[in-house]
């Protein structure tokens, strides 16, 4: 059953996922294929896949869930291209191709949500008017339960909250304010050192917020 385990076992990060002509690469996606057939996977520091894996043939790999049920889409064919592991199969009449690269646990892939959690202080804002969300904000506290608290003042009185999430396939922050009068919004997000940078174009106007870690 596990005739090819040693050739596939290890830690693998997803580099590129293509479905037909579309690129749909998940953020910070990784898998660990244990030599004993154990399977784990996740995104960044979030583990969300548990199960096992096996080789139905010398060129196929099949994933099973914790209950021992095989992936309903069937096995992947696999091949090696230089340093990449390539998994391929048909799903819903479309060709799916996944390119993975080996990594060491010390170089664990990070996802934006691993970095965003914590306290931040607004350093600068560009392109915002007094009517725009974010104008005049001082601090933000991103919690692991996906609540975020924004505070305009240092006294902790003027606080409003939202739910936050990171898009699964691109570094994009989504905010759903609990106040129904404030619209849902999306910001492109990147991290440079201890800074978190938000950018977007709103009504044709480029906007940019720069946050420093800590309060």
Q: Which domains does the chain have, with CATH numbers?
A: 5-107 (2.40.128.490), 112-213 (2.40.128.490)
What is the pTM (predicted TM-score) of this model? 0.72
CA distance linking residue 120 with residue 210, whole number of Å: 10
Identify the band that residue 110 occupies on the pLDDT scale cut at 50, 70 and 90.
Answer: confident
State residue 214's pLDDT score.
87
State residue 155's pLDDT score.
61
The more confident residue out of 181 and 17 is 17
The more confident residue out of 179 and 30 is 30
In the predicted structure, residue 112 carries a pLDDT above the cut 60: yes
Residues in contact with 141: Cβ distance below 8 Å, sequence separation at least 6, in sequence order: 118, 119, 120, 148, 149, 151, 215
CA distance linking residue 23 with residue 169, whole number of Å: 9
Identify the band that residue 156 occupies on the pLDDT scale cut at 50, 70 and 90.
Answer: low
State residue 182's pLDDT score.
75
CA distance linking residue 142 with residue 157, whole number of Å: 17
Beta strands in 20-72 (DSSP E): 22-23, 29-33, 38-43, 46-54, 60-65
Burial per residue of 175-205, b for 16 or more beta-carbon CB atoms within 10 angstroms, e otherwise: bebeeeeeeebebebebeeeebbbebeeeee
Largest CA distance in the chain: 65
Identify the band that residue 183 occupies on the pLDDT scale cut at 50, 70 and 90.
Answer: confident
CA distance linking residue 96 with residue 88, whole number of Å: 6
Strand partners, 97: 18, 88
**CA 126 vs CA 117, 129, 209: distances in Å:** 23, 9, 6
Provide, for the chain, the percentages of residues in helix, strand and coil under a 3-state DSSP scheme, each rounded to the nearest 5.
5, 55, 40
State residue 6's pLDDT score.
46
State residue 132's pLDDT score.
63
Average pLDDT over residues 65-80: 95
State residue 5's pLDDT score.
37
The more confident residue out of 159 and 6 is 159
Q: What is the rounded average pLDDT for all residues in the chain?
A: 87
């Amino acid at each position: 059953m596990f005739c090819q385990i040693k050739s596939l076992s290890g830690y693998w990060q997803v580099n590129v996922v293509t479905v037909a002509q579309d690129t749909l690469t998940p953020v910070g996606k990784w898998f660990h294929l244990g030599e004993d057939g154990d399977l784990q996977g996740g995104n960044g520091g979030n583990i969300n896949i548990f199960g096992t894996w096996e080789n139905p043939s010398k060129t196929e790999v099949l994933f099973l869930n914790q209950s021992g049920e095989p992936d309903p889409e069937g096995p992947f064919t696999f091949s090696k291209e230089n340093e990449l592991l390539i998994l391929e199969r048909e799903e819903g009449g479309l060709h799916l191709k996944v390119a993975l690269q080996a990594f060491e646990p010390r170089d664990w892939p990070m996802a934006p949500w691993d970095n965003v959690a914590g306290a931040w202080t607004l350093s600068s804002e560009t392109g915002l008017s007094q009517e725009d969300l974010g104008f005049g904000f001082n601090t933000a506290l991103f919690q692991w339960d996906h609540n975020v608290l924004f505070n305009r003042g240092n006294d902790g009185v003027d606080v409003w909250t939202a739910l936050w999430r990171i898009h699964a396939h691109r570094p994009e922050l989504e905010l759903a304010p609990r106040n129904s009068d404030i619209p849902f919004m999306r910001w492109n997000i990147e991290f440079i050192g201890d800074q978190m940078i938000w950018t977007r174009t709103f009504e044709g106007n480029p906007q940019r917020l720069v946050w420093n870690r800590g309060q």
